[in-house]
Structure formats: structure tokens, C-alpha cells
Structure 1
Amino acid sequence: MKSVKIILVASLLLLVFNFCTQDAEIDKQEPQIDLTIEGAFPQNCDTLYFGESFKLKMLFSDNVELGSFSIDVHHNFDHHSHSTEVSQCDFLPEKDPVNPFSLIDDYKIENGLQKYETDELITIPSGNENGPFDDGDYHFFVRLTDKEGWSVRKGLSIKIFHR
């Protein structure tokens, strides 16, 4: 009986040790932002309009699980560059901002998804208490983060005008 207990305890310890030393699968892959899907919007060099809404349409994917995404729209009147796109857009002449538009929004993605197609309605106001927003060159950034914390960003050059 004593030898059965020793074998049982040794087996249990070996089993526990085996579970502790096995490498857990680690997510080492960043998520992906796909703008090649039909109807993807906005694209690099697209034009948006103040006082109007548009549907943000992109396909997000991850090998394990998606987490969240955010958008950041800010002026590019000085033609600074952090676009992730290969194609270059035509810029308007440089200018100083007077009342530039800015938007930063965060969005949660439903738990457990490896693919998610955005369908967010985004409204760009015409102005604020300081008057109409400045027309011109803007950057449209999307940052996608997976559950593990890996992130990727897509930087698009766009224009925003008043009609």
C-alpha cells in the first residue's frame, strides 16, 4: 500500500511538473487591417465633407482574438508625414490652422472574434463654437489592437471640405 501511495504521489508530481513546464501558446502575431474589401472606406486620398456622415468600412482580423480599435483624425496643414500608404496624395498649399477639426474615438470589439468588419457611422460636424472647421489636408489614423496587446495602425491622407 505504501508503494502505491509513493507511485501515486510521484505520478501526480510528474503530471503537475509537466503542466507547469509546457509552453503556453503565445500570440506573437499582430492583427491586420484590410482595406481591399469591397466598399472599404475611407481609402488613401479620399475626400470627406464637414456636416456629413460616412460609414467606416474596414476588415479587421487576428490569428487569436481581436480587442479594440480607435480612430484619430487631425489636420495635416503642414504636410507632416506618418502615412502608412505607399501612394502619395496631392497636397493643398501649407497653411496655419485657425479652427482645425480633430476627432479621437475608441471602439470595443465583441469578445471572441477573429474577424470583424466595421460598420460605424461617423459624423463630421461643420464646426464648433469657434466657427466652421478648416478645410484641407487631414490624416485619418486607425489603430487596431488584439487581446494580447499587439497593435497595428493604418495612416491615411484624406481631405475634408465644406460643400
Structure 2
Amino acid sequence: MKSLKFLFSFAFLILLLNSCEKDDDEIDQEKPKINLEIDGAFPVNCDTLYFGETFTFKVLFSDNAELGSYSIDVHHNFDHHTHTTEVNECDLEEIKDPVNPYVSIVDYDIPEGKTSYETSLEITIPSGDENGEFDRGDYHFFISLTDKEGWSTQKGLSIKMMDR
């Protein structure tokens, strides 16, 4: 009788252990990537954007699991501050106080299920606002990319914003 109880207990334990689901989903621990090395990427470090004109923002985003969204932040660099993502130095104008600097921060969604996404976004830079023309000079074009898990990466580009 004891061996029969033992056998039923052992069989029940085996059945119980086999019925548990194993979670095979791996946790994404890899940051997404911003690739500015593709053919026709724009802007890249030290490029010039022109007030009153439209340009095509072109970069390649990638992630090992799934991309989420990106944002573009354009702000003045009249004080010569830096972002740790800049690799090359660009020629900077003299330090100056901003009068009417151009500022833009816009978020964009990436279509669901993408692990790779090449942007082709038309962006128009206005010449000014109700306060007059925007300050010309040194700016930063800051790209932030976030994947579906919440990992993010950034690229800060030094650019000029001028009149043509």
C-alpha cells in the first residue's frame, strides 16, 4: 500500500511539473540603434538647414525586438553646450545671447511590428514667428529613439540654421 501511495504521489508530482508552462519569452535588454551612415542620410553632423525651406529627414532606425517611437528636438547652441553623442566638432560661431531662437520638439510613432524603419519625413522650417525672424546660427538637432520595451538611444547633431 505504501509503494502504491508513493507511486501515485510520484506520478502526480511528475504530472504537476509537466503541466507548468515555461516562459520562453526573452526580456529585451538591447537599446535601439540610429543609423546615420545610410545613403542619403540627412541631416548629419555639421549640415546646414535653411529657414523657410523644407528638407527630408532620413535615417535608419533598428531594434532587435520592436521599434516604438522617435522624437526630434531642435534647439539653439548659442552657448556652445554639447551632448555626449557628438563625435565630430563643427565650426561654431561666437557665443551669443538668444533673441528669438527656433525651438521644435515633435514626437512620431513608428508603425507597429517594425524592427527596421527608414524615415522619409518632410520637415518645413519656418522663417520666424510672431516675434520676428528666428535667430540664425548654431543649433542642435537631437534625435531620440525608443523601442517598445522602453529602451532609448539618442543622437545629438550640431547643425547650422541659416538663410539661403
**TM-score, structure 2 as length reference:** 0.90
Q: Calculate the aligned-residue CA RMSD, in Å.
A: 2.1
Q: Which position in structure 1 is the counterpart of 2:96?
A: 95
Conserved? CA contact 1:31–1:61, under 8 Å: yes
**Helix, strand or coil: the match of 2:20?**
helix
**Helix, strand or coil: the match of 2:144?**
strand
Q: CA deviation at 1:83?
A: 4.8
Unaligned runs of 5+ in 1: none
Q: Which position in structure 2 is the counterpart of 1:142?
A: 143
**TM-score, structure 1 as length reference:** 0.90
**Helix, strand or coil: the match of 1:15?**
helix
Q: Which position in structure 2 is the counterpart of 1:15?
A: 18
Q: CA deviation at 1:17?
A: 3.4
Aligned CA distance change for structure 1 residues 8 and 50 (closer, same or farther; 3 Å) = farther
Unaligned runs of 5+ in 2: none
Q: CA deviation at 1:63?
A: 0.4
Q: Which position in structure 1 is the counterpart of 2:163?
A: 162
1 CA distance for matches of 2:84 and 2:55?
21
Q: Which position in structure 1 is the counterpart of 2:113?
A: 112
Q: Which position in structure 2 is the counterpart of 1:53?
A: 54
1 CA distance for matches of 2:11 and 2:51?
73
**Helix, strand or coil: the match of 1:80?**
coil
**Helix, strand or coil: the match of 1:13?**
helix
Letter in 2 for 1:36: E
Moved over 2 A (4+): 5-13, 15-19
